[in-house]
Amino acid sequence: MLARSPRQQLVIAIVAAVALVGGVSYELLRGGGSEDSHRLPSITEHTGTLHWTPRGPNPEPRLSEHYWTWAYPAAYASRVRPGIGVYWRSRRIGFVGTERVDDGTVWVYAWIAPEYQTIAAQSVESEPIETPEGPRIVIYRISNAPPATATEA
């Protein structure tokens, strides 16, 4: 292999830098303008939902008597402070009343407007996300299956 002169090495470095900048610019322009490109990725970068089993019992069961209750990994704690919205599609349907972090789980206690409580009850995919407008809890999908009913043993 031939040894390259410093001038040839400089030209190769410039060509590589131009190719890198051009490629990044192309990707940014190609992905720009879509609604999803303005949303910051979720912690799990899911295509569906975050499935989480709480690591302990509900720390405030009395709050669950008055609020809708969801549990997420404690890594979401910064996204679920009181007052942030709960959204179905682009509609705000409620807000976080309070939250508790306990044993690696953040428990979210939210008020849901009465006309949207069916949506909250049928929620099967939700996640706290960060948007340019700030954090929010988004319900991504609901189940149209009838709710489970208790039966006697």
Tell me, what's the pLDDT at 46?
Answer: 44
The pLDDT of 41-69, averaged and rounded, is 73
Tell me, what's the pLDDT at 9?
Answer: 83
* Beta-carbon contacts of residue 142 (< 8 Å; ≥ 6 apart): 88, 119, 122, 123, 124
Helices (H), the chain: 6-31, 61-64, 117-121
Tell me, what's the pLDDT at 3?
Answer: 74
List, for residues 7-16, the tens digit of each pLDDT value: 888 888 887 7
Domain extent listing, the chain = 6-36, 44-142
List, for residues 66-120, the tens digit of each pLDDT value: 999 999 999 999 999 999 999 998 999 999 999 999 988 999 999 999 999 999 9
